[in-house]
Structure 1
Amino acid sequence: MSMELDLKHYLAIIRKRIWIVIAVIVLGTSAAGVISYMYLQPIYQAYTKLIVNSANDKPGMLQLDLNSINTNISLINTYKEIIRTPAIMDQVVQQHPEYDVTTDELMRNISFSSVNGTQVVTLAYPSTNYKAAAKIVNSISEVFQAQIPKIMKVDNVYLLHMANENKIPAPIKPNKKLNITLSFMISMLLGIGLVLLLDYFDDTIKSEVDVERYLGLPTLVQVPSIRQGDLLNNRKPAPIPKKAGEASRAAN
């Protein structure tokens, strides 16, 4: 019962100052929308796909066995580390000075992923310019494929898919809808918190309910509020009643 009363009390507090909650939500959501649509640059991501095969397993040939597949899968983690080294990225920078990127930038931004149990790996590169990202990731893939035989003494990396420079996909971020939704929820919580905080610091007693809650005593007598106009009317002198004789003479 006490929890129910407390819940009703908090709901009444929020309802009384609901305009504060609405104002905070409108301001927060509007700010998130303006920032997401007008100030945050879209980030695109271009990707390529490669497959790791055994040296004598050319694509289209049926010479794979379980041992070779497991060997190729185990090599993927090694290749993941190799591609993030200057041995690969220095070659990209030297061969393509028009990209105007450094080795550190390439190593920091390139991502290498694979699905567990498969020989297919994905290289991805983000940029505010999709065509630039596509050119860079294609170049990294080509250099990687060319350098692996020199580094590992085995030619087992093949390109399956190159990034299409002319097909611009949707940006990966910012996620505008998600930003606005999160902003709405956070603003609502902040607005409710602000209302409850204002009520916490407001120690004035406004009703008999507050008296009962603070003192723990029931209300026995309630004095109604008196308007100023009622007080002015009460100040006027009351008419003096006439005596009986005066009333009869007045009647004659």
Structure 2
Amino acid sequence: MKPYQYWKVIKERKWIVIIAFVTTVLTTFIGSLLWPPLYEAIATLVLDYDSSNPMNLSNVPMTGLTQSVEYINTQVEIIKSRRVAVDVIDRLGLDKHPEVIRKFNEAKEGNPLFLWRRENDNMDIRTWLAERFLSRYIKVEPARDTRFLYIKFYSSDPNFSAEVANTYAKAYSAYNLEMKVQPFKEAGQWFSEKLKDVKSKADKASEELREYQKKKGFVSIGSGYYDDALQRLDQINRELVDAKAKLYEATVAMKRVNESKGNYESLPEVISNAFIQNLKTEKIRLEMALSELSGKVGKKHPQYIRLQSELQTVNTKLNAEIKNIIDAIKQDYDSANLRVNNLQKALASHKSEVLNLNISRYEVDSLSRETEAFKNTYDTVLQKFNESALQSDINRTNVFIVDMAVPPTEKYSPKLKLNVALAVLVGLFLGIGLAFLFDYLDDTIKSEDVIEKNFGIPVLGTINQSNSGR
């Protein structure tokens, strides 16, 4: 269709356009006048966090968190939650308000024309208020690029709207504080129970340490005491090595004595003895003198008797000195053997003592570490308990009410001017649409183009309708 044909259709069916337009505008106008008015009350909140707060024991930076979109959206949903709605109901006593009870009864009875909108008979008034009434008329909007939140509530009573909006702000602020404090209270309870358990274990470990020290007869085993014991053990080892070396030498000497079978003069100890060698020299001299004198004088000669007496004296001294050496060898062997035995016993005894000392040291160290660990754990738990108790007592939240809602003086809806303006546009488009619809349904021939298009024959001419009727 050409542009003039569109205008022709509208012109021919102008009454349809006018009727649709007028009907839409009048219906909207009358409906806006008769529709129950709603009043909007707005309470303004701001989400803030003071990072310099000295009571921020948890040291959790929240500045970025409170500025995030996720955090703001979370707070919006919390405000609209059933938990906050129930608190609002309790604060205002809405479930006992006569007007609210009347609306609840109307909702349960339902509208005859809209039976599907009838409320469940089993739903009580508190559930209806939280899930139907308040959630329907509450609106929470965050201000863009800020931390402001606007709590809006709509009702037919301006005072009621302001009261509910302000109560929502207070209930949300209280719940926000509860969410911050409650974890610390629960943590405090947990730390309190843990504190008792850890203290019991620490006391038990300390008691075990005291009992063990009392049983062993010492207070503590320092590293110096243990090192002294090791040094004594090392000293006994060295003395035992020396004693075994001397015992070996004494054993060798004793073996030579036994193998000599009484011929002690060939023993190294005898040969190396200067006094014995002198006696042997003297003995040889006397024997040679006697031999030389025996050829000259008789055995009863005084000089012979004198030399023989001297020789006998030398032999006696020689035998006595050799006997002393043999006795000394035997005595050295017995002494060396006895010392080795004594040192071996002392070594075994001291080894046992050091071993027991090492075990005791390990036990004491283990019990001391266990006691110290429990004490450290107790101190840590006690610190956390005190922090939790302090945090749970801090009556501070990061939600602040900037502006309380005031009863609005102008109604929020219906907006008469806006509704009429929209009705003008809708009525105009509706009328034009109906005009083209009726034109589409009308199958009469209205122009030459229709004949040429539908029948495929040219139009030779047209005869205008005569006003005279001829």
Deviation for aligned residue 1:224: 6.7
Deviation for aligned residue 1:34: 0.8
| Largest Rg, 1 or 2 | 2
Deviation for aligned residue 1:149: 1.9
How many Å separate the matches in 2 of 1:223 and 1:98? 79
Q: Which residue of 2 aligns with 1:132?
A: 160
Given residue 184 of structure 1, which amino acid in structure 2 is its aligned partner? V
| CA deviation string 1:111-147 (max 9, x = no partner) | 2222244222221111121110101111121222223
Deviation for aligned residue 1:22: 1.4
Alpha carbon RMSD of aligned pairs, Å?
A: 3.0
Of residues 9, 25, 44, the one that matches 1:49 is 44
- The answer to whether the Cα contact below 8 Å between 2:51 and 2:62 also exists between their aligned partners in 1 is no
| CA deviation string 1:40-84 (max 9, x = no partner) | 1122111111222225668xxxxxxxx653232244333323323
How many Å separate the matches in 1 of 2:63 and 2:142? 14
Given residue 404 of structure 2, which amino acid in structure 1 is its aligned partner? M
Q: Percent identity?
A: 28
Give runs of aligned pairs for residues 1-252 of structure 1, distance below 5 A: 6-37=2-33, 39-54=34-49, 68-74=62-68, 75-97=71-93, 100=97, 102-104=129-131, 105-153=133-181, 155-165=397-407, 168-205=408-445, 211-212=451-452, 214-220=454-460
- The answer to whether the Cα contact below 8 Å between 1:69 and 1:119 also exists between their aligned partners in 2 is no
Higher relative contact order (CA 8 A, sep 6+): 2
Deviation for aligned residue 1:179: 2.2
- The answer to whether the Cα contact below 8 Å between 2:51 and 2:63 also exists between their aligned partners in 1 is no
Deviation for aligned residue 1:157: 1.4
Given residue 177 of structure 1, which amino acid in structure 2 is its aligned partner? K
TM-score, scaled to structure 1: 0.71
Structure 1 residues without counterparts, runs of 5 or longer: 59-66, 231-252
How many Å separate the matches in 1 of 2:469 and 2:40? 74
Q: Structure 1's 209 and 131: CA in aligned 2 closer, same or farther, altered over 3 A?
A: same
Q: Structure 1's 209 and 140: CA in aligned 2 closer, same or farther, altered over 3 A?
A: closer
How many Å separate the matches in 1 of 2:397 and 2:461? 96
How many Å separate the matches in 2 of 1:116 and 1:207? 58
How many Å separate the matches in 2 of 1:25 and 1:77? 43
Q: Structure 1's 20 and 161: CA in aligned 2 closer, same or farther, altered over 3 A?
A: same
| CA deviation string 1:187-209 (max 9, x = no partner) | 22232233223333333336656
Higher helix share: 2
> Matched residue of 1:205: which SS?
coil
Structure 2 residues without counterparts, runs of 5 or longer: 54-60, 101-128, 182-395
- The answer to whether the Cα contact below 8 Å between 1:125 and 1:137 also exists between their aligned partners in 2 is yes
> Matched residue of 2:459: which SS?
coil
Given residue 169 of structure 2, which amino acid in structure 1 is its aligned partner? S
**Number of matched pairs:** 215
TM-score, scaled to structure 2: 0.40
Q: Structure 1's 53 and 217: CA in aligned 2 closer, same or farther, altered over 3 A?
A: same
Q: Structure 1's 109 and 213: CA in aligned 2 closer, same or farther, altered over 3 A?
A: same
- The answer to whether the Cα contact below 8 Å between 1:22 and 1:191 also exists between their aligned partners in 2 is yes
- The answer to whether the Cα contact below 8 Å between 2:40 and 2:412 also exists between their aligned partners in 1 is yes
Given residue 137 of structure 1, which amino acid in structure 2 is its aligned partner? A
Deviation for aligned residue 1:8: 1.8
